[in-house]
Amino acid sequence: MPDLTLSTDVSLQAFNTFGIAARARRYLRITDPAQLAQLAADPALNTLPRLVLGGGSNLLLTRDVEALVLHMGLLGKEIVGETADSILVRAQAGESWHGFVQWTLAQGLGGLENLALIPGTVGASPIQNIGAYGAEVKDLFHALTVFDLADGSTRTMTAAECRFGYRDSVFKHAEGKDLIVLDVTFALPRAWTPNLRYAELAQELATVGIATPTPQQAGDAVVAIRRRKLPDPAEIGNAGSFFKNPVVSAGECARLLAAWPALVHHRQADGSEKLAAGWLIDQCGWKGRTLGRAGVYPKQALVLVNAGGATGEEVMALARAIQRDVRERFGVELEPEPVMV
């Protein structure tokens, strides 16, 4: 029988990439799905408020956590099958996302390389529908397994059932609150071609003289760009991109372009326009500035950082100030990416 003993008064500082000092009143590391079955069968435990924690890379802790923290530690990755067009690979929820991407590349399998070096775990990747350099998890997603704490069942979910959107999925809404991701399966293409739609990535490869990259070379280029532009959470506390890139109508984008011709924007398939939140923030003069012990990373205005001993409230105060300035200058609302607790 797996252990269901809860730890109490556990520091979460090492379990969130912002490095915020906060404590969990009750904590359980999940290393076996049977623990979740036991939890679901225990009325006293299953009725507690809960926080499911992966790598803590999309989380801002603003206070100590009264909820039961379920820290996903399920490990394992494997090739599980194939179709005419794809190789199916599966990883357990607690696996490092970047470690998993690197593992697929080591197997000679392309598809996930544009998502290299994104912090966090495999289990969290579909919840956020993580994306970078013109790729998102949903593009290669095949299926996932969830445990439903509401009824104690385990089931498989398709992409349609996950309802993927821009940094969104069913798991971020009320109807997904009881679903805990156990593993994720991806369909990686046999006939791989590099996704070089982002000029920055194409330029990186051109700079090193690679005209037709392998998946590994494309992944290495993504890692090189991210290392230059983004702070390592092990050195500077952060949660990566703090704000979503706002999506506006074509008419609204035209209005903004008339006033700011240098506005960075990307046309979407439905005709809407995705604006670069980092550019908006930079134009408001926030890049490199601090407010209390929280700051904006000097190399990338989209990244808020713990400048040393910051509280979650200090980070939130900085975020609100940035939102206010962008709203007042551009009439655009910025929406935070991290989960606030």
Residues noted as catalytic: 167, 241, 337
CB distance 130 to 171 below 8 Å: no
Q: Which two tokens stand for residue 91?
A: 């990883």
| Burial of residue 37, with CB atoms counted within 10 A of its CB: 0-12 exposed, 13-18 middle, 19 or more buried | middle
CB distance 312 to 61 below 8 Å: yes
Strands (DSSP E) contained in 54-169 are 59-60, 65-72, 77-82, 86-92, 131-132, 135-136, 141-148, 153-157
DSSP-derived pairing of the beta strands 23-30 and 294-296:
unpaired
CA atoms of 132 and 113, how far apart (whole Å) = 10
Q: How far is CA 79 from CA 66, 185, 266, 335, in A?
A: 39, 9, 35, 37
Measure CA 321 to chain center: 23
SS3 170: helix
Residues sharing a CB contact under 8 Å with residue 71, sequence separation 6 or more, in sequence order: 15, 27, 28, 29, 30, 53
